[in-house]
Amino acid sequence: MTRAEEYRIEFNKLETMLKKRANARSEASISSVVSALVNIHKDRVVRQFERDIRQFIELRNAIIHQSTNRAIAEPYEETVVSLRKLVVNIEQPKTAWDIATTELIKVSLEDSLSQVVGQMAEMHITSLPIVEDKKVVGFVSESTIVKIVDKAFEHGGALIDEAKIKDVAYDKPYGDASDVYSYVTRKVTFYEIEDMFNDAIKQGKRLLAILVSDKGDASATPLGIITAWDLHKIDK
């Protein structure tokens, strides 16, 4: 089998998959289908790869004679491999569950402030969820540590070494108002997760983490956690 034939097979997979995604007619052009998915259906995955898809469409037009459907050029092997990878990435994008850390490191309201600060420094963690009755009620982050320490002194209570999280985090949800967290289900895609972090930045907030639960909200026990750092470790 020639590389042109391999390319044609993979491109046909891509075209069929995109038309099914858009519920488009079989005679619809793939370019119009891509536009519909991006602009009308707001398909986050297709939007991520729109430029690549359109480049593969142009290449298909260059190597396959449209009137005869015969190959008139040979693509490079790496081009065929890239197209094959694109089809997989669109059809089976990484999900929240694929990238989440499932060993949830957490603190409780009864933990001492000094231990929490030490734990964060030792493990190079910038934030930790506060869990009460198996539910996340807030986060302790680097940005809140200073405020927490200040509150401890203001209230003239225990020394910092003796203070507990519950003694210094007075308001629910515990943590800084500009520090937020969200929930998603296991099946939310990597690209939707990426959007959530970017949207938080645009709103002037810092999304400390995204918690993964079966219901995608605080009513269920969190099963995993995703931070912005996790996104940089993923091969998309």
- The DSSP secondary-structure symbol of 57 reads H
Residue among 133, 86, 140 nearest 112 (CA) = 140
Q: What is the pLDDT of residue 171?
A: 46
CA distance 189 to 183: 13
Please state, in angstroms and as integers, the Cα–Cα distance from residue 112 to each residue in 34, 121, 133, 177, following that order.
54, 14, 18, 22
Q: What is the pLDDT of residue 159?
A: 53
Please report the domains of the chain, with CATH numbers, ordered by start residue: 3-91 (no CATH), 98-232 (3.10.580.10)
Asked if 197 and 208 touch (Cβ cutoff 8 Å), the reply is: no
Q: Is 49 helix (H, G, I), strand (E, B) or coil?
A: coil
- Tens digit of each residue's pLDDT, the chain (236 residues): 899 899 999 999 999 999 999 999 999 999 999 999 999 999 999 999 999 999 999 999 888 766 566 767 889 999 999 999 999 999 999 999 999 988 888 888 888 888 888 888 887 777 888 888 888 888 877 766 766 666 656 655 555 667 777 765 544 555 555 678 899 999 999 999 999 999 999 988 888 889 999 989 888 888 999 988 888 776 65
Retrieve residue 210's tokens. Answer: 């995204």
Residue among 212, 213, 227 nearest 123 (CA) = 227
Radius of gyration, alpha carbons of the chain: 24
- The DSSP secondary-structure symbol of 118 reads H
Q: How far apart are the first and last CA of the chain?
A: 29
Q: What is the pLDDT of residue 205?
A: 86
Q: What is the pLDDT of residue 220?
A: 80
